Structure 1
Amino acid sequence: ERNSLKRGQEILVQVIREPVGDKGPKLTRNISIPGKFIVLLPEDHSINVSKKINDINKRRRLKKISREIMGDNGMILRTEAQYEDEETIKDEYEYLNELWKGISKGFLYKKSPCILFNLRNFYEFVLREYAKNNVDEIVINKEEDLIKIESILAAQGSDSKKISFQDNSFKEMDGVYNLIKNSLNKTVKLPSGGFLIIEKTEALIAIDVNTGNFVGNENKEETVFKNNLEACEIIYKEIKLRNLSGIIIIDFIDMEDEKNKQAIFEKMVQLSRKDIMSTHIYGFTKLGLLEMSRAKKGKDIISLTGCSDAFSMDSICYNLKNVENHCIKEMKRFNARQFEVFMQEELIRIINEKFKFFIDKMKEIYNIDIYLVKDKAENNYLIKRK
């Protein structure tokens, strides 16, 4: 395929991995367009079913539906497709085909280089990848977002009954903020009194399990096993919350009984099957460390919140969103309309250059005045009512 390319030739490519450090983005000419239930494979005539669907009858049903609705483009039936009827899957197949026609047309008529389609449009991406069958409620606190999300769900053929509009949803807002804040801590407490230490290095993620004050009434081996078993659930929850990827090494508390080690391994395998990311649990090394790997998709929580770089675009966006939430809460409770935000001079410069619209929108939408004040504090920002 490489030999068929000529210098200066325009080709259609898809970014399948973001740039990391010195490594540039990874591209492919094998285009795939994900929907909620299927992934469209343009100019491909294959039919594939997610490996996470183990039921033979469900796999047969989905393949039968695929053969009946398939046109010029192939598809992959995603895990969520097993819960849907033929009409819903057909509607999404046709919708994705129309998207592909638009992309193809843009390739012919638009001047390169340019983005023809962004698969990671925020609302569509979140609803497609995370609003799964196990989601009970989607809480929204802005009317404009409510309209957008209802429109997307209608196009996806999804149930909009799960949407809950709560204009003053401070409980949910604070809950999300605290969840993110806790996910930035290296230490995570276990219910029984033990704790985890999670550290990210250049090469891998290291997770250390400790008993803490948990001693139990049984023998030592049984106590250690119970602590490790409890840790499995919390470890996997933290891996997903923090979006950890790459090589992950878990140092469980030493167990002498091989049956207990096998039970821990099987528990981690069981948890990995519920992960939307491709994950492999390799087992215990001779040193008693559990090895696993998890595919990378997007950035981890440390990169997004400014803990690694306060001046990155991701962390600035995250902090401005927190400023917005804080100001809205103060406005609702105390009718406050003017706020001073103290931050480093370099952050003020970047915001004035690239995020001036944020201050304008706060005034336009909420009638809130934001004043940026130079401060030498190490914290990213500090908010005070004026």
Structure 2
Amino acid sequence: MRSIIVNMVPEETCMAILEDGELQAVEMERSSHSHLVGNIYKGRVQNVLPGMQAAFVDIGTGKNAFLYIGDGLPHETIESMPQNARIHIGQSLPIQIVKDAIGTKGPRATMHISLPGRNVVLMPTAAYIGMSRRIEDEAERARLHAIAERICPKGMGLIIRTVAAGQSEENLAADVRYLVRLWESILARYRLKSKGSALLYRDADLLIRLVRDRFSADVDELVIDDKEAYQRVCSLVEAISPELVGRIRYYEAKTPIFKAYHIEEEIDKLGAREVELKSGGFLVIDKTEALTVIDVNTGKYVGKTNLGDTVYQTNLEAAAEILKQIRLRDIGGIIIVDFIDMEKESQKEELLAYMRGQVKHDRTKTNIVDITSLGLVEITRKKTRQNIDSIVYSECPICHGRGRIESPETVAIRISRDIRRMERKSHAREGYEIEVHETVAEELQANQLMMNLAAEFGTDIKVTVKPGMHPENYTILQQS
């Protein structure tokens, strides 16, 4: 049974997809975070980087968007473009955001506009017909492709979406007509706007995107805990897929919806560094600025046969969980997986084949690159939005993102060095008062370091615990 569960409060919308009660996907959108992906702007070019074939475009959001000028065009095509056709500073142009601003990086933009509808995606600037890879029946693919060729506006392109399977030509044509009108209205606003940057089209919020992109015939129920949102969704589905209205349900029980469906505790686990495997092994997931590293460990699992089979079975189990965690946490960019070493080349190939088969079900483009001579599997995954980790968590104020702090012993030794340095300059006749964190005070008392220093310099040293002090910080007051 496939379920979509939606929890809504004024500050946040959170959506979870369950397959037979097991969490398969989660997406969150907060009112305090501006979601830009899908938005179309009239941008103004601020800077051009000829060496990178790129430009920075002001879209009026405070951070310039990065635009690759080639946008998928061959290098020879870009070079052959007449000089006056190339982008220049001060130029205005319509662009669409394809990747949200993440960290210090601004949003990524494209000049290839795409407008998603229920059954098709209209591409006003690209004459191309594409098909969802999830439509596997060859006869249906051929039927839909023929329809697309008939209804596609001249000079534009279409992508047939998964939900279009089985739909009539009239339904698809109606979708196209609506999207063409939408594009014409965007162009009209573009012409009317002043020379500065401006928002021309705002993509739908999470709730509407959910209905548009995920609510289809393979979903058994859509449960929403907000009455207004429930009514809004019912009205929309009645208009685009009336046969699915009966699957929408309003949740009004007193128990919070995510608690009732056991989603709350699963989302909490997504912040954990370690992920346990059913066999007794475990994963360790570490994120860096450049990439995400996942380490596979056998843990308590010793297997029932030989070592080679134990390792292979652990790696297979780990591969399934890794792909699930990547999807749930929406990890993007470069991912390196350090599987347990396998001696047989056949097992390595089987592992790669299994992973490549599984990523076909991921809505986000994921590529299993290869396995290196060191046994590391390279994965790349498209990154478009802020993931759960960046929305829910912020940098630790204690370690500042390092993941560790100096040990109490290290801080105690630094204190002793500072006191010796101060004594070399001038002797403290009245002694010293040191303010420290509680753990450092315990360390100083346990190793008698301050007692030894007091005896060495013939002075008094008083240690005081200061509540709220950072564990690595301390204050030394010299009583002259």
1:231 aligns with 2:318: yes
Query: What amino acid does structure 1 have at the position aligned with 2:336?
Result: I
Root-mean-square deviation (CA, aligned residues, Å) is 2.5
In the alignment, the residues of structure 1 paired with residue 238 and residue 187 of structure 2 have an alpha-carbon distance, to the nearest angstrom, of: 25
CA 1:297 to 1:135, structure 2 compared with 1: closer, same or farther past 3 Å?
farther
In the alignment, the residues of structure 2 paired with residue 309 and residue 125 of structure 1 have an alpha-carbon distance, to the nearest angstrom, of: 33
Deviation string, structure 1 residues 220-252 (Cα, Å, up to 9, x no partner):
111221111112221111111100011111111
1:59 aligns with 2:146: no
SS at match of 1:161: helix
After TM superposition, give the deviation of residue 304 of structure 1 in Å. Answer: 0.8
In the alignment, the residues of structure 2 paired with residue 52 and residue 88 of structure 1 have an alpha-carbon distance, to the nearest angstrom, of: 20
SS at match of 1:115: strand
1:154 aligns with 2:228: no
% identity of equivalent residues: 35
| More RCO (CA 8 Å, sep 6+) | 2
CA 1:136 to 1:3, structure 2 compared with 1: closer, same or farther past 3 Å?
farther
CA 1:294 to 1:132, structure 2 compared with 1: closer, same or farther past 3 Å?
farther
1:332 is aligned to none
CA 1:221 to 1:305, structure 2 compared with 1: closer, same or farther past 3 Å?
same
In the alignment, the residues of structure 2 paired with residue 15 and residue 231 of structure 1 have an alpha-carbon distance, to the nearest angstrom, of: 35
Judging by fraction of residues, say which structure has more strand.
2
Out of 266, 269, 273, which is 2:353 matched to?
266
Deviation string, structure 1 residues 114-171 (Cα, Å, up to 9, x no partner):
2121224222222233335543221101110012212332343362222111112736
Out of 64, 83, 107, which is 1:25 matched to?
107
Query: What amino acid does structure 1 have at the position aligned with 2:246?
Result: K
After TM superposition, give the deviation of residue 51 of structure 1 in Å. Answer: 4.1
Out of 370, 376, 390, which is 1:303 matched to?
390
What stretches of structure 1 of length at least 5 have no aligned partner? 311-375, 379-386
Query: What amino acid does structure 1 have at the position aligned with 2:227?
Result: E
1:80 is aligned to 163
Query: What amino acid does structure 2 have at the position aligned with 1:129?
Result: D
| Contact 1:92–1:156 under 8 Å retained in 2 | no
Query: What amino acid does structure 1 have at the position aligned with 2:92?
Result: E
1:127 aligns with 2:214: no
After TM superposition, give the deviation of residue 283 of structure 1 in Å. Answer: 1.8
In the alignment, the residues of structure 1 paired with residue 353 and residue 254 of structure 2 have an alpha-carbon distance, to the nearest angstrom, of: 40
In the alignment, the residues of structure 1 paired with residue 276 and residue 311 of structure 2 have an alpha-carbon distance, to the nearest angstrom, of: 16
Out of 105, 122, 126, which is 1:40 matched to?
122
1:188 is aligned to 275
Out of 4, 14, 29, which is 2:96 matched to?
14
CA 1:84 to 1:196, structure 2 compared with 1: closer, same or farther past 3 Å?
farther
Out of 191, 212, 223, which is 1:108 matched to?
191
Query: What amino acid does structure 1 have at the position aligned with 2:224?
Result: I
After TM superposition, give the deviation of residue 26 of structure 1 in Å. Answer: 2.0
CA 1:75 to 1:194, structure 2 compared with 1: closer, same or farther past 3 Å?
same
Moved more, 92-101 or 259-268: 92-101
Q: TM-score, normalised by structure 2?
A: 0.60
CA 1:115 to 1:99, structure 2 compared with 1: closer, same or farther past 3 Å?
same
| Contact 1:141–1:169 under 8 Å retained in 2 | no
1:163 aligns with 2:274: no
In the alignment, the residues of structure 2 paired with residue 99 and residue 155 of structure 1 have an alpha-carbon distance, to the nearest angstrom, of: 17
Greater Rg over alpha carbons, structure:
2
After TM superposition, give the deviation of residue 9 of structure 1 in Å. Answer: 4.2
Q: TM-score, normalised by structure 1?
A: 0.74
In the alignment, the residues of structure 2 paired with residue 84 and residue 209 of structure 1 have an alpha-carbon distance, to the nearest angstrom, of: 44
CA 1:36 to 1:297, structure 2 compared with 1: closer, same or farther past 3 Å?
farther
Query: What amino acid does structure 2 have at the position aligned with 1:74?
Result: G
1:94 is aligned to 177
Judging by fraction of residues, say which structure has more helix.
1
1:256 is aligned to 343
After TM superposition, give the deviation of residue 184 of structure 1 in Å. Answer: 0.8
SS at match of 1:250: strand
1:294 is aligned to 381
